[in-house]
Structure 1
Amino acid sequence: MASSPSSLEPLLLRKIRSTLLSISRQAERDLELLPSDDVQRRIHTLRVRMKKLRAILRLLKPGLPPATLHAIRRRLRILKQAFSRNRDQHVLQSLAAKFQVKCSTTCHLPGIQFPAPQKGRRSADLPTRTELLRLKATAQDLTHRLEILTIRPMDGHEIAKAYASRYATALQGFRRSRKKPTPERLHRWRSPVKDHYLQSLLLLHDRRHLKLSRRLGSWLGQMHDLSLLHAYCQQHAPVAWVRTIRRRMKNLLARIFRKARRLFELSPSKLLRRVTTSLHAGLSPTMA
């Protein structure tokens, strides 16, 4: 039997709060396992957790004091950006190694080592021991702030409106990117698409929609990585590399737009009605 509105709202907020804390505590563990654990897998997982927290907090924005939200977001940015350079370097190394084989040529690109760093090897761009201790303290402070987080009473409709609003932003990004698919526009579009997928894990019981949004976000991430590699290779790689990358980007862009047309079949208002119905059917906290 579906939950009544009066019983739904406290249950919904409790589940969201529980998910926030679970993700934050897992992020603390990620940092504790660095640098001895599988470095790149752990860094990737930590960055994904920060994106999940950011996506959930967008749903709660109407019920949070601005100063509280700002302080939490600041800590999310610190933790996410601490490893961004390392992650970008690793992705470029991996992509370049693949294209080296595909193009059947040997070319040492300045700043890109071949082969890619071995699993678990510490990179020179990782934070120092002192910096890592600061990051651990930041993660602990983030968890503490989430533990004492005060959320103004919100009804399910408010949360559904915040969810539909982010979907509308992703839809706008699709239209802008289709009109002029520059690397900058595609990269900006990726953020609301990823947020929409992560929010959908909490709020929407629709496997097709989840699959479409997850795949679209993944492909936009691949496009961003290829754009970085393309820009680098224009200066430092053989022409064969550049041509191969351009073909790959062209094919991927066509797939992205086909996938997006399927994802954005619903208008934001129709999605709002659907997720409101889904919330009254019960929330499945699968994000953590």
Structure 2
Amino acid sequence: MSYKLRPKNPAAEVRKVARQRIDKAIEALGVPPAERGEGVHKARKRFKELRALLRLVREPLGDEFKHENRRVRDLGRMLAESRDATAMLESWDLLMQRFAERLGEPASKQTRQRLQASARQAEGNAADLDDRIAQAVSELHAVKASIDSWPLDATGFGLLAAGVERTYADGAAELAKVRSEPSDEQFHEWRKRVKDHWYQAQLLTPSWPMLMRLRADSLKRLADLLGDDHDLAMMQYLLREQPQLFGDQPVLERLGPAIAERRSELQRAALGLGDELYREAPRDLAARWRRYWDAAEH
């Protein structure tokens, strides 16, 4: 069950993909307890894909968009597993690949052990998770039952055009804000809009597979750069709040500059790639994607 919209009968395709995302989320939440952390993580990814789909048809949905988007957003928040500790462990491994000699192997292993222990503790602190999963599954079934009543009355690419243009324009606007105010919060907001545009590029890949796949791959690379930067921003915060997790003062004195240097590299790469991907005017990009769609319909 792929995350793609075929150019024939887009309204039916939107409903089909929405059901698929919900089914995948329910499946992910039904895994055994030992796999629950990863299952919740996968389910929350399906929620993000579903919200990107909703943004694609937000204009024809009208007021229904706010209602459905809020429902799915709240599901993600209800199941917001404590991934910070796990993400921190992954981020540490990437940082060590970049600065292994500078940070030192013995200290690195000790720090990793402490971060791993913290991740395991976070996984074990999931109080009332069974109840929250059951509630989420029930709500997902309710969302699925409402899909047939979504007002998707526009035809052809007209169903999607406004959503494509707005999502892309939102990403371009967040990039401009990053340029004028390069804060952690602003980079994170830009990342969210990049991921929406990435998901939508994936959805529309069948309209012109080679070009759309290339764009989707570039957007994923951009989202990954921004995601790695965000994880390191969280590490900087943890370094200030819980320095004992990372080691003694000499380790901290080496780690702080290493994180700052890596973040600078990631942000430069993200901004360069972002300038390439958001160079086009929103109306022009939507018009170009419409031409791809129309050509694929015939």
Task: Give the 3 Å change call, closer, same or farther, for CA 278–126 of structure 1 in structure 2.
Answer: farther
Alpha carbons of 1:114 and 1:239: their partners in 2 closer, same or farther (altered >3 Å)?
Answer: farther
- Please report how far the alpha carbon of residue 210 of structure 1 lies from its aligned counterpart in structure 2 after TM superposition: 1.5
**CA distance 1:10–1:210, change in 2 (3 Å):** closer
Closer, same or farther in 2 for the Cα pair 1:146/1:251, shift >3 Å?
same
Give the whole-Å Cα distance in 2 for the aligned partners of 1:115 and 1:61: 40
Q: 1:75 aligns with which of 47, 71, 78?
A: 71
Could you tell me which amino acid in structure 2 is paired with residue 11 of structure 1? N
Q: Highest relative contact order (Cα 8 Å, sep 6+), 1 or 2?
A: 1
- For 1:123 and 1:62, the matched residues in 2 are separated by 42
Aligned to 2:83: 87
Q: 2:280 aligns with which of 255, 266, 274?
A: 266
Equivalences for residues 117-156 of structure 1 within 5 A:
117=120, 123-125=124-126, 127-156=128-157
Q: Distance in 2 between matches of 1:176 and 1:240?
A: 31
Equivalent-residue separation in structure 2 for 1:137 and 1:158 (angstroms): 29
Partner of 1:84, secondary structure, is coil
TM-superposition CA deviations, 1:120-174 (whole Å, max 9, x none): x953236432222212212222222224434233452352122012111111111
Matches within 5 A, 1:44-123: 44-66=41-63, 68-96=64-92, 99=95, 102=100, 103-104=103-104, 105=107, 112-114=115-117, 116-117=119-120, 123=124
Mapped to 2, the partners of 1:197 and 1:220 lie a distance apart of 13
Letter in 2 for 1:26: K
- Of residues 1, 19, 22, the one that matches 1:21 is 19
Q: Identical aligned pairs, as a percentage?
A: 21
In the superposition, relative to structure 1, how do residues 60 and 99 fare at CA in structure 2: closer, same or farther (>3 Å)?
closer
2: CA distance, partners of 1:127 / 1:244: 39
Aligned to 2:217: 211
Which structure: greater helix fraction? 2
Change (3 A) 1:99 1:257: closer
- 1:176 alignment partner AA: K
RMSD between aligned residues = 2.9
Q: Is contact 1:167-1:268 (8 Å) kept?
A: yes
2:268 pairs with 254, 277, 280, which one?
A: 254
Mean alpha-carbon deviation: is it higher for 257-266 or for 99-108?
Answer: 99-108
- Between 137-146 and 126-135, the greater mean CA deviation after superposition: 126-135
Indicate the residue corresponding to 2:249 in structure 1. Answer: none
How far does the alpha carbon of each residue in 1:161-213 deviate from its partner, in whole angstroms, 9 at most, with x for none?
A: 22012111111111221232110110111111111111111225323222211
Aligned partners of 1:99, 1:123: CA distance in 2, in Å? Answer: 26
In terms of mean alpha carbon deviation, does 70-79 or 188-197 score higher?
70-79
Deviation at 1:219, TM superposition (A): 1.3
| 1:250 aligned partner, one-letter code | S
TM-score, normalisation: structure 1: 0.83
Distance verdict in 2 for CA 1:257–1:36, change over 3 Å: same
Change (3 A) 1:44 1:188: same
Alignment partner, residue 159 of structure 1: 160
Residues in 2 aligned to 1:90 and 1:83: alpha-carbon distance in whole angstroms: 16
Q: Tell me how far apart the structure 1 counterparts of residues 161 and 62 of structure 2 sit (CA, whole Å).
A: 19
Could you list the runs of 5+ residues in structure 2 that have no partner in the other structure? 1-5, 247-251
- For 2:14, give the aligned amino acid: I
Distance 2:184 2:282 in 1: 26
- Greater shift, 94-103 or 69-78, is seen at 94-103
Query: Which 10-residue stretch deviates more, 223-232 or 91-100?
Result: 91-100
Query: Quick one: which amino acid aligns to residue 157 of structure 1?
Result: G
Structure 1 residue matching 2:33: 3-state secondary structure: coil
State which of 257, 265, 273 in structure 2 corresponds to 1:243: 257
- Say which SS state the counterpart of residue 82 (structure 2) adopts: helix
Structure 1 contact 99–241 (Cα < 8 Å) conserved: no
Residue 229 (structure 1) aligned to one of 223, 230, 235 = 235
In structure 1, distance between residues paired with 2:148 and 2:15:
8
Partner Cα separation in structure 2 for residue 132 and residue 145 of structure 1: 20
8 Å CA contact 1:35–1:122 kept in 2: the answer is no
CA contact 1:21–1:147 (8 Å) conserved in 2: no
- Give yes or no for contact 1:97–1:115 (8 Å, CA) kept in 2: no
